[in-house]
Chain A
Amino acid sequence: MLRLTLATRLTLIVVVGFAAIAIILMTLFYVTSRREKEVARPSPARLAALATLIEQTPLDGRALVLDAVSSPQFAVRVGRADRGGEGGAQLAELRDAYAVALAGRAVEVTVPRATPNPRFPRVARLLAANALEFRIALQTGETLVVDARTAVPLTRLGLPVGFGAGLFGTIVALLALLVMQLETRPLARLAAAVDRVDLSTAAPLLPQARRSAPEIRAVISAFNRLQGRLSEMLRARMTLIGGIAHDVRTFATRLRLRVEQIPDPAEQQRAIADIDDMIRLLDDALLSSRAGAGGLSQEMVEIATLVRAEVDDRSAQGEAVDVTLEPSFTDAIVLGDRLALRRVLANVVDNAIKYGRVAHLRLSLGRDKVVVTVDDEGPGIPADRRDAMLEPFNRLEASRNRATGGAGLGLAVARSLVEAHGGTIEISTAPAGGARVMIELPVFRAS
């Protein structure tokens, strides 16, 4: 879809509006001016009467008669039998119509040659197109010349009346468009500023443009208030989560110390595992809320070292985890939070082992990105469930049964952390049929 800026839209509205007005006016002009041309054309009876009158008037009274019937739109003079402008086909038709009324007098209807207007030749031609010249051969042997034309009022400059007004209007309209552009620019700046807003820091407020319209100033200050409320809310939420995390951890520590007094060792192991799960869930929630608030740290993390550490830890616990480095892989560095990235790996590998028995990790290097692929040998994840798996509290089996897995936060947390690092995570199918999770992270290069 074509995206138009507000200024372009307003401009288009104005232009289309003006075009519509112009078309309507021009239509009206054509309709009326055709009628006017006909009106301007003297009736054949009038010319016949005039010819008869001139023929009957004695020579000394002729000047009076000519003066009496002449007007700027209907100039009458008597001359010798010379030829004026050129007659066209259409005019010949017109001449035949007049010849009938003029009772046998020869008549020529021509378009007169334009009276030259040195300053605006175009205007002169326009006026001439409107005019007709009748040459009627009188019975006295003279020629009666009648110049009929529609009056087009001209200003002192020789231009039609209204031309100046139109020109002035056009200039004003162009200026208005320019001003409109200037007026809508604060909106574009506002949008850019809103995009730059970082709620995690003490937010710098958006600049208030002093000269913009009250509405735009109102929008900017509304945004500033909203930003203030949001960062206040975010801060409150972080404080709340931090407080809860601290307290829960304190309770968990007490509980963990008390667990020593459970006499049955199997029961004791289960209790310890429960506490560990609980703390992990808490850490996950804490990390992903920090990721959402831009609270992650940024350090240079060697991704291969991180992956190897995870694999070594898992192998030491007897889990089936291995890693392959593609030959092209060099020491890629990702700028990010070490703990968060480790958590991403841990969660994805956890999932692979829990549902697919083993985790095969593979590291490869794409253009400006490092790709970590984790394949398992389980049943895989159906294509229509893959996106849902990356949402919180979504697990492949609908029952929220903790015996077969976690709360369903693992991949959702991984996704929010990966996205906070500017990367992507997606689920597909491994070549062997199991599930494949592919994590892409941007590679950092010191400039």
Chain B
Amino acid sequence: MTTPSPTILIVEDDPEISRLVADFMRREGFEVACAANGKDMDALLQRLRPDILILDLMLPGEDGLSICRRMRAADTIPILMLTAKSDEIDRVVGLEMGADDYLVKPFGPRELLARVRAILRRANGTPARPAARRYAFDRFVVDLDSRSVELIDADSAPPQLTSAEFDLLGCFVLRPRRVLTRDQILDWTRGRSAEPFDRTVDMLISRLRRKLEATSPGSNLITTVRNGGYLFTAAVKQVS
């Protein structure tokens, strides 16, 4: 072998799992480094450049989702997520996080090896995807990075949304066809538009609903669900 063996960085808080995975991967010819949390990982990244990151979702301190988001924004290192909760999977690989793959605990080492090899093969061919956050639904295309709304068929003007309305729409587009409570919406949109009252959410939603309805009549995109929640009924597709 003339090429240097690929390096794996494992970020996992359970030392036994770390050791067992590391031993196995070393036997398979990988260089392996282990970190127990986000801080250790940052320290290791100062002096070594791994080819792949194996990242546990549940970590003490900064959790896996947040590390994944941070790494995606700064770097192109492929990420394999380890999750305990199967209901987190769609958030991990889905619209939000852009992890390259995932494994649900407990997993077999052979399965892990297969996934790691597959990711490395993909990563060698093309640079990691630039994660365009453009989503299409109904007649609309929303670009969360450029914060713009366009129409698929350009025969009328797209709706003019305020910043708060756009944040709200972004929140719906990332979690389509799922009942969101007022509290959740408040949680996910707060920070940028710091309006603390939940009546504000109701008002924002009715304004957004009116603007979407005006552009696409009869689409009924945002529904109010019995006992307190809102539902974005359109199917959302990620587009490039």
Contacts and interface: CB of A to CB of B under 8 A. Distances in A.
Given A249-B84, A253-B17, A300 B177 contact: yes
B233 interface: yes
Interface string A239-279: 00000011001101111111110000000000010010001
A447 interface: yes
A252 to B, nearest CB: 4
A78 B85 CA distance: 115
Interface string B91-130: 0000000000000011111100000000000000000000
Given A246-B84, A272-B108, A300-B177, A254 B233 contact: no
Q: How large is the interface on A (under 10, 10 to 19, 20 to 34, 35 or more residues)?
A: 20 to 34
Q: Is the interface of B mostly helix, strand, loop or mixed?
A: mixed
A279 B105 CA distance: 9
B178 A283 contact: no
Contact of A335 (B21, B105, B109, B179): B179
A180 to B, nearest CB: 34
A297 B89 CA distance: 14
Contacts of A279: 106
A257 B25 CA distance: 12
Interface string B62-100: 000000000000000000000010110000000000000
A283 B106 contact: no
Interface string A375-406: 00000000000000000000000000000000
A339 interface: yes
Interface string A187-203: 00000000000100000
Interface residues of B, number: 27
B177 to A, nearest CB: 4
B33 interface: no
A446 to B, nearest CB: 5
B223 interface: yes
B178 A254 contact: no
A257 B17 contact: yes
B61 to A, nearest CB: 16
B209 to A, nearest CB: 12
B108 A250 contact: no
B86 A275 contact: no
B179 A256 contact: no
Contacts of B110: 260
Given A297-B87, A299-B177, A446-B223, A253 B24 contact: no
A276 to B, nearest CB: 8
Interface string A177-220: 00000000000000000000010000000000000000000000
B105 A250 contact: yes
Nearest to B86: A339
A298 interface: yes
4 smallest beta-carbon distances between A and B, as pairs: A298-B179, A256-B106, A299-B178, A300-B177
18 contacts: A249-B106, A250-B84, A250-B105, A253-B107, A254-B16, A254-B17, A272-B108, A275-B106, A297-B179, A298-B179, A298-B231, A299-B178, A300-B178, A335-B225, A335-B231, A337-B87, A339-B86, A447-B223
Interface of B: 14, 16-17, 20-21, 24, 58, 84, 86-87, 105-110, 177-179, 220, 223-225, 227, 229, 231, 233
